[in-house]
Amino acid sequence: MVDLFNQEDQRTLAAIAAAREPLAQAIEVTTNALRQGGKLYYVGAGTSGRLGVLDAAECPPTFCTPPELVQGIIAGGPSALVRSSEGLEDVFEDGIAAIAERHVHPPDVVVGITAGGTTPYVKGAIHAARQRGATTLFIACVPAEQVPTEADIDIRLVVGPELLAGSTRLKAGTVTKMALNILSTGVMVGLGKVYGNRMVDVAVTNRKLRDRALRILCDLTDLDRAAAAKLLDQSGQQVKLALMMHLGQLDVDTAKTSLAQHQGQLRQALAALAAG
């Protein structure tokens, strides 16, 4: 049985590969929107909604984003995260209300997530977001000709029937999580939240994350751990700022100014400093 699940899960990789172009377009559009002050909203019901909430919740600790920048909206609200509220996904008007409640407007991006492509709550949210001028993305695991959408970018993750018929928490859920990982991480790369493959905007909020911050500093500089710890403290526990201070040989205030002038892009700030 385990082998059978494993064989079916191979389909998720092929589905992501087939959706590479709309995924890349979604990353580019969303990055530009957030640069302009927009927010990213995931909307879904059941498993799809929980995956959106999960991805949104992981952005602040991973990329030090404000909690309002990426938000997850699930039919039924927070209680639906731990207890199934299947009937609530059938109300088109509730999806409209969720978008209105958050005052969605340009340049926000709304991502509707529905494995089967038919969830009325998600369709209502997409419809309302389009009316308000927001950019809309649609993620579903059925072919476009089977269930069309009015969204601006259509991402189809076609993995085929589930081993347990109709249980989209299986490979449909897995491939959706994969797509959201790619989307949000790609956007954060575009926003300068990483340097190389290091999370230089990681929030240093506990012992584990401080250790990660110190390892990043040691890996990207010539500093030993003690010197890296001193630098991190001087930067106010901000890894990117600490790197700008050390690599640019700048004091904390000048480093802050330089990063601000380049929209938080460490590589660009360092290149401008070298050119100057």
Q: Chain centroid to CA 134: how far?
A: 17
Q: Does residue 109 sit within a domain?
A: yes
Boundaries of domain holding 231: 207-275
Reply yes or no on whether the pLDDT at 84 is more than 80.
Answer: no
CA distances to 35, 109, 159, 208 from 61, in Å? 20, 21, 31, 12
Read off the DSSP letter of residue 201. T
CATH number of the domain at 184, please.
3.40.50.10490
Mean pLDDT (the chain, rounded):
95
List the single range of 79-83, 102-106, 228-232 with lowest mean pLDDT. Answer: 79-83
Q: Does residue 198 sit within a domain?
A: no
The residue from 138, 165, 190 where one domain ends is 190
Please name the residues in contact with 275: beta carbons below 8 A apart, sequence gap of 6 or more.
none
Same domain, 169 and 217: no
Same domain, 95 and 228: no
Q: Cα(112)–Cα(130) distance, rounded to whole angstroms?
A: 12
Same domain, 176 and 235: no
Q: Which two tokens stand for residue 152?
A: 């601006």
Same domain, 174 and 251: no
Q: Does residue 201 sit within a domain?
A: no
Same domain, 36 and 157: yes
pLDDT, tens digit (0-9, with 9 covering 90-100), for 117-167: 999 999 999 999 999 999 999 999 999 999 999 999 999 999 999 999 988
Same domain, 234 and 186: no
Q: Annotated active-site positions, please?
A: 58, 89
pLDDT, tens digit (0-9, with 9 covering 90-100), for 93-106: 999 999 999 999 99
Say whether the peptide bond before residue 78 is cis (omega within 30 degrees of 0).
Answer: no
Same domain, 102 and 35: yes
Vertex 111: Cα angle to 23 and 116 (nearest 5): 85
Same domain, 99 and 232: no
pTM: 0.92
CATH number of the domain at 270, please.
1.10.8.1080
Q: Cα(179)–Cα(177) distance, rounded to whole angstroms?
A: 5
